[in-house]
Amino acid sequence: MVVSCVAASELLYRMNKQIIILYPKNLCIIRRISTTSSQWHVQPQPRARSAPHHLVGVVGLEIHAQVNSNTKLFSSSPVCFSAPPNSLVSFFDASLPGTLPVLNRRCVEAAVMTGLALNCTINRKSLFDRKHYFYADLPAGYQITQQRQPIAVDGMMTYSRLEGKKGSQVIRRNVRIKQIQLEQDSGKSLHDDVHSQTLIDLNRAGVGLMELVMEPDMSCGEEAAAAVRELQLILQALGTCQGNMSEGQLRVDANVSVHRPGEPLGIRTEVKNINSVRYLARAIDYEIQRQIDVLQRGGTVQNETRAYDSKSGETIPMRDKEGLQDYRFMPEPNLPPLIVYEDNASLPTGIDACQAVVVQKIREGLPELPSVKRDRLVQTYGILPEHSFTLVNEDGLVEFFEAVLKATKKEPRKVIGWVTNELLGHLKQKDMSVAESPISPLALAELLELQETGHISSSVAKQVFQEMWRSSDKSPLHIIQEQDLGLVSDATQLHKICQKVVDLHPDEVNAIRSGNKKVLNKLMGLVQKETKGRADPLLVRAILQEKTS
């Protein structure tokens, strides 16, 4: 018995790791914590008499959106991605004794604006709570959040998906928003297995978050991905969150279960911290199928927290799911109730309107939301629904498109192809944003006007576009004159070229004379090849029709 106790002590000692908090000027704090992993004890389950059939997935989401603010939620520390480790940490962020939280008004206004955009009820009085859990990157041992009474509740978001063979059918669905709550972020742990230590960066500790809880109204990964993408666009339009998932500004936890329709929901698992819309869809679909397989084998789904491994495409267990009792929620004693006001008339005497959060003022400042913008583009310009999705999904592309339309008489349906195919294609190829485009809306409009008025052909227009991309200082007209790309409209010259093409292709001429009029397009292409795309297509068609009749 003595030997076994000694062995156990040595094992525990070896499994301890050093937690090192890096501070500027080579100051290090070393903390020892136990990092032993819990064992999974799954009791064998009796095999079901008959395997369940027609199981379907049920998906709810918890989304943490980083508030677009210059400072943190309860301190004046600046917020900046990729700053040197522990360079943006106040005394409060590090949880030094005697420090107190001071609420950031910008974060409150952002949460109210987001709640209004998602059709939520804004609570005039909301409360802050302490949520206890012990991570190395949470210095205080608790997180300040809103458990009992959050700032916004009972909302609804409509999201759309393109379906059908050509993706031209718009399917709209609704997802209920249970609540939006303000809370502070934790720090970041970087695990170094080689040296058996964990490095702690507290730059992110205390950054303001909006946690949006979506009800389980989705059934698959594709629906969840569409909902998150719509939310991302809404937050970016509002300016309340930049929504950059690669920088952790938008993190998604997916609650997944399966059941037979009409029966109670099954036991759910939580897939944590998914930082990509594409990975979200894959993780959810994998988890749904995994749970179906477990139940069909007669097993029981465990209520657990899992992680998604993007390399294997699988979810893997992390830990047992904490219950509410594990967090030991309690009211935050250092923060009074958060009060917001409906309008200026409801402000108490002596309260300055500039210092209060007024819902009506925020409501009046709401921008055009993505769904409204898509509908407006389709109705106003007659473009296809899929084109409206492309325009809205790219930051600044709608404004570019509308600026081109204002400067040209070309029909919107013809302009949209240039914007979504030519311009956006070049931007994607170079990994550039719309704001970085070397071709301005006015320059593109000038090019399209030259094509519309018959100065250049469509093929030459694309050639000029390529040159404009390479030489942004040159106007379309300058390029056309410099390279002699103007349309050839001289009838005598075109008659000679058309006669040459007709003489060299007797089989095509006979086919046209036999009634196959489509072959004429081939002869027109050959004429354009001879003229390097500069021939007037209307004149060429008339000449060829005359010579092949």
Strands (E), 480-534: none
State the sign of the Cα–Cα–Cα–Cα dihedral 491, 494, 499, 505: negative
Across 44-53, 255-264, 535-544, least confident range: 44-53
Report which of residues 392 and 273 the model is more confident about: 392
Report which of residues 199 and 453 the model is more confident about: 199
What is the 3-state secondary structure of 111-123? HHHHHHHCCCEEC
This prediction's pTM: 0.81
Q: Are 141 and 205 in contact (CB under 8 A)?
A: no
Look at residue 43 and tell me whether its pLDDT is greater than 70.
Answer: no
What's the confidence (pLDDT) of residue 325?
63
Across 204-213, 336-345, 422-431, 539-548, least confident range: 539-548
Edge-first strand listing for the sheet containing 121-122:
121-122, 152-163, 169-184, 208-218, 56-66, 250-259, 269-274, 304-309, 314-320
Around 307, how many Cα atoms within 13 Å sit in the side-chain half-sphere?
Answer: 7
Query: What percent of the chain stands above pLDDT 90?
Result: 64
Give kind and range of the element (H or E) at residue 67: none
Q: Give the pLDDT mean for 458-470.
A: 90
Which two structure tokens, joined as six digits, stand for 197?
């230590």
* Closest among 363, 322, 319, 320 to 341, alpha carbons compared: 363
Across 295-299, 312-316, 345-349, least confident range: 345-349
pLDDT tens-digit profile of 81-103? Answer: 989 999 999 999 999 999 999 99
What's the confidence (pLDDT) of residue 41?
38
What's the confidence (pLDDT) of residue 45?
40
Q: Give the pLDDT mean for 390-403.
A: 95
Q: Are 390 and 400 in contact (CB under 8 A)?
A: no
Across 32-36, 105-109, 440-444, least confident range: 32-36
What's the confidence (pLDDT) of residue 36?
36
Residue 321 pLDDT class (50, 70, 90 cuts): low
- Straight-line distance from the first to the last Cα atom of the chain, in angstroms, rounded to the nearest whole number: 108
pLDDT tens-digit profile of 502-525? Answer: 988 888 888 888 888 888 888 888
What's the confidence (pLDDT) of residue 355?
83
What's the confidence (pLDDT) of residue 31?
40
What's the confidence (pLDDT) of residue 167?
66
Q: Which residue has the tokens 């005497």?
A: 349
pLDDT tens-digit profile of 150-175? Answer: 999 999 999 998 887 766 788 999 99
Q: Are 523 and 543 in contact (CB under 8 A)?
A: no
Average pLDDT, the chain: 87
Query: What percent of the chain stands above pLDDT 70?
Result: 89
What's the confidence (pLDDT) of residue 353?
79
Look at residue 50 and tell me whether its pLDDT is greater than 60.
Answer: no
Which two structure tokens, joined as six digits, stand for 123?
């609570």
Look at residue 439 and tell me whether its pLDDT is greater than 60.
Answer: yes
Which domains, from first to last, does the chain contain? Answer: 56-331 (no CATH), 370-483 (no CATH), 491-548 (1.10.10.410)
Which two structure tokens, joined as six digits, stand for 338?
């958060």
Query: Please, which residues bridge with residue 198 across strands?
Result: 19, 191
Which two structure tokens, joined as six digits, stand for 13?
């000692």
Q: How many helices (H) and strands (E) does the chain have?
A: 18, 18
What span, in angstroms and rounded, lies between the C-alpha atoms of 253 and 485? 56
Strands (E), 379-494: none
pLDDT tens-digit profile of 353-388? Answer: 788 999 999 999 999 999 999 999 999 999 999 999
What span, in angstroms and rounded, lies between the C-alpha atoms of 109 and 238? 11
Q: Are 126 and 114 in contact (CB under 8 A)?
A: no
Look at residue 24 and tell me whether its pLDDT is greater than 90.
Answer: no
State the sign of the Cα–Cα–Cα–Cα dihedral 394, 116, 68, 217: negative
